[in-house]
A and B are shown apart, each in its own frame.
Chain A
Amino acid sequence: MTQLTSLLRRWETLLLGILLAVVLFNIARSPFYLRIENLVNVFELSIEKIIVALVMTFIIINGEIDLSVASVMGLAACVVARLHADGVAMPLAVLVALLVGLACGAFNGFWVAYVGLPSLAVTLAGLIGYRGAARILLEDKSIGNFPDWFNALGQQPLIGPFPFALILFFVMLIAAIIILQRTAFGRYVYVIGNNKEVARYSGIQVQQVKMKLFIASGLIAALAGILLAARLGAVRGNTAEGFELDIITMVLLGGVSIFGGSGTLTGVALSILIILNLRNGMSLANITGNTQTGVIGALLILSVLLPNLAGQVRSLRNRARPASPALAQVSQGMETSGSSLRP
């Protein structure tokens, strides 16, 4: 009984319900939906964002945020394109772009972890600065003409119908779940997100953990940017612009607290599936992109409101007798004592 109610109360359960509704709706609306090509397509159009969302989950659970990811993606793509245009061998260009991403992450991490500046400010500066660097590299040119193998990486299926990036995503998802739920590092991420002073007083090297997360964020954003370049076949200075908001939306809808300390990758994976399938379904139903964005915005607002509303309803029920509900509402928010405090 209690297990059932706690399962029902879990955010993931709600997400699963929404996902089922979206999928059923899509199946009902379009005969093409269930075709394997379409299902691959569901992921492919956003594959770079969802790869970055995995790292973003760690960062937000850790109580930080990285707004610079989309700019790092763009910068890495531009570095690859610029070096390729200048005649540098493609593998070397990719390596350099990855190192640039790593450096961007390390730069963010240094200010956040070791100097103690708020990540919102630091990575906002990164968002502007790295984007600026990307635009300087490419000016207003569009550079393409990548080698075939590079384009194939993003555009051709690798195993069966699945392209490289999709396989990479699933491998990374499993690795991320294991790291977050089953390793000491993952536990540290949660503890620091809850209360970093508790972590420090427990002998955890808080600065190192944060530094590692930002470096990983920069590196993986660069990787995603390179994959994006491969899929698009051409790069401009504004490639990946604005992606950070979609990425953060996926993480927050997945039930990760913006204040840090709680959330799961299962939730984020479900929220990714919901957003992608919703977009796909709406596209199949010929709903325009702007409306799609509106619907997803509404979903995010609901995702923030619903848990709070649920909490209010519960406390109304608990406090309603014998006082009137209106009065009970006034006192909600005060600590509920007694029941849980006693051993």
Chain B
Amino acid sequence: MRPNLHFARSPIRLNVVTPESRGQAPILEMRRISKRFDATQALNDVSLTLYPGEVHALLGENGAGKSTLIKIMTGIHQPDAGQILLDGRPVQIHNAMHAQSLGIVAIYQEPMVFPDLTVAENIFIGHAERNPFMRWGQTYRKAREILALLDVKLDVRMPARGLTLAAQQAVEIAKAISLNARVLIMDEPTASLSAHEVEQLFKLVNTLRERGVAILFISHRLDEVFSIADRVTILRDGQWISTRPRNEVTSELAIREMVGREITDFFAKTPAVRRGELLLSVHNLGKAGAFAGISFDMYRGEVLGFAGLVGARRTDVGLALFGIEPADSGEIVFEGRPCVISSPQQAMQLGIAYVTEDRRQLGLSLPQSITANITLPLLRRYAAAFGLLNFKAEAETAERYKQQLSIRAPNVRVDVGKLSGGNQQKVMLAKWLNTKPKLLILDEPTRGIDVGAKAEVHHIINELAQQGIGIILISSDLPEVLGMSDRVLVMREGRQMGIFDRAEATQERVMAAALGQSPASDEARPAIQEVTL
């Protein structure tokens, strides 16, 4: 039995009260901070003020300086210039431990819980009650108190292994409270959460806000930012651009300020469907323990979206079609021929490519060059006489994609690990486009990349579809999957809940299907998702 999290309803906040209007003194002030790394001015004269009881969103593209600012706040980096004031007094934050003792705590996208320790041990890790032995009774009691404060129901004695991501984040937040955090920095806490878990997290954030904690909230999802933040600060290229109350910021304005230019068609619509011939038919595809009963047809030039919450097993279907984790039942007909796909080599021969959601662990060989990464799947084609690789041909291929996809790097010999997330994503796309696929499976192609790069990826998807490539777009970003797809297949816990045409695929319908609810019963008690991590 998995533990369930129950959250009490917090009062609905009707209007925005800016901290200044309440006349409170700020907790933390970052004054005219500058920081340079070698040739790069990561921060230039950036100021940021955090008041008690406010959620302050920090927006900016990758490389805008958000991470550097956080690292200065948590003592990992020291500023070259500028001043940090805590409760109006200047402080120097020496290191992460020092920052914690000052009440400045950061939690990150991936919760850092130790799976084999209990919930209580995770909460008190590093600052346990010892004397000189662990005082278990007191530790458990305090852990329970803190969780009760947060309205989170978790057994403090159970190991953290098997907790949902949302529950793990609750543990991290509890840990922050146990450290008497007054400033909580949340760096993309929602990136790997499903929509439902985000809701749970936001309730926790509201509880903290009511307790007077200042929260710095970083996210690439603008709708989330607008639903939770009191104020919004935007950075671009290491410069402070603006700080405004939420109700004065629109998403168009925010995007314009983040990228410094207008992005028209944020979620670029694909052109009217011109269905090509049938490319792929899947009948009743299944894999024990993962998914079952997946059936769909797809056509050349079509973008078929796969929507669903985390744990819907969409990735498993992609992996089955690419032969990494082959399906064990059902039929696949590709270009009119029935086939069994039992290895990636087979899938590649058919013309199927899979761009993974996990760039760093599964997608790219980080210590190797852009060139080596792009040519990897087809490397044998670059072998000339005696099997010797034609380095020049490899470099030409890489250069071509660098220009086509505007990969921003000094040259193609740079290690992929040194590129930003968006550029890594483009290298991964180039790697698979180079195999000239007929079916391209894109798994979360825009996760964790900045707005500008995201728009570029959308543009690339549209172009590829126009060239007649069939695209399966797996995405947890609902506006994206709805905006980019001709049809949307919705999955929930390994089952196909339905396929919606573009016209009928509204956010409400797709989300209801993903939650396994009929759209009418919106007010039903939100079911806890069984998330397999």
Q: Which residues of A are interface residues toward B (Cβ below 8 A)?
A: 178, 182-185, 187-188, 190-191, 194-195, 197-205, 261-262, 319, 321-323, 327-328, 330-331, 334, 336-343
Residue interface mask B326-368, A partner, CB < 8 A = 1 = 0000000000000000001101100000101000011111111
Q: Which residues of B contact A262 (CB under 8 A)?
A: 367
Total number of residue pairs linking A and B with CB closer than 8 Å = 121
**9 closest residue pairs by CB, A with B:** A339-B37, A343-B408, A338-B42, A338-B37, A203-B344, A184-B379, A342-B63, A323-B78, A340-B418
Does A322 contact B78, Cβ atoms closer than 8 Å?
yes
Does B368 contact A194, Cβ atoms closer than 8 Å?
yes
Please name the residue on chain A nearest to B364 by beta carbon: A198
Q: A191-B368, A338-B68 are in contact. List 9 more A-B contacts (CB 8 A).
A: A187-B379, A194-B365, A194-B367, A194-B368, A261-B367, A327-B94, A331-B95, A337-B68, A338-B42
Does A195 contact B95, Cβ atoms closer than 8 Å?
no
Please name the residue on chain A nearest to B389 by beta carbon: A182
Assembly CA distance A183 to B432 (angstroms): 21
Which stretch (B162-170, B245-253, B380-388, B506-514) binds chain A?
B380-388
Does A339 contact B40, Cβ atoms closer than 8 Å?
yes
Q: Which residues of A contact B80 (CB under 8 A)?
A: 321-322
Assembly CA distance A204 to B423 (angstroms): 23
Q: 15 pairs across A/B with beta carbons < 8 Å?
A: A178-B388, A183-B388, A184-B380, A184-B383, A184-B389, A188-B379, A190-B368, A200-B344, A319-B78, A323-B92, A334-B76, A338-B68, A339-B37, A339-B40, A342-B40
Q: Is B420 an interface residue (CB 8 A)?
A: yes
Q: Which residues of B contact A261 (CB under 8 A)?
A: 367
Contact of A331 among B67, B96, B347, B377 (CB under 8 A): B96
Does B345 contact A343, Cβ atoms closer than 8 Å?
no
Distance of A256 from chain B, by nearest CB (Å): 14
In the complex where A183-B387, A331-B95 touch, is A343 in contact with B420 (Cβ < 8 A)? Answer: yes
> Could you tell me the dominant secondary structure of chain B's interface residues?
mixed
Q: Which residues of A contact B35 (CB under 8 A)?
A: 338
Assembly CA distance A327 to B75 (angstroms): 10
Q: Is B419 an interface residue (CB 8 A)?
A: yes
Q: Which residues of A contact B76 (CB under 8 A)?
A: 331, 334
Q: Is B71 an interface residue (CB 8 A)?
A: yes
Assembly CA distance A331 to B78 (angstroms): 10
Assembly CA distance A204 to B388 (angstroms): 18
Q: Which residues of A contact B96 (CB under 8 A)?
A: 331, 334
Contact of B345 among A178, A203, A319 (CB under 8 A): A203
Assembly CA distance A183 to B418 (angstroms): 25
Q: Which residues of B contact A178 (CB under 8 A)?
A: 388
In the complex where A201-B363, A331-B75 touch, is A191 in contact with B94 (Cβ < 8 A)? Answer: no
Does A343 contact B423, Cβ atoms closer than 8 Å?
yes
Assembly CA distance A184 to B377 (angstroms): 10
Q: Is B372 an interface residue (CB 8 A)?
A: yes
Please name the residue on chain B nearest to A182 by beta carbon: B388
Q: Is B241 an interface residue (CB 8 A)?
A: no
Q: Which residues of B contact A339 (CB under 8 A)?
A: 37-40, 42
Q: Which residues of B contact A322 (CB under 8 A)?
A: 78, 80
Assembly CA distance A36 to B96 (angstroms): 61
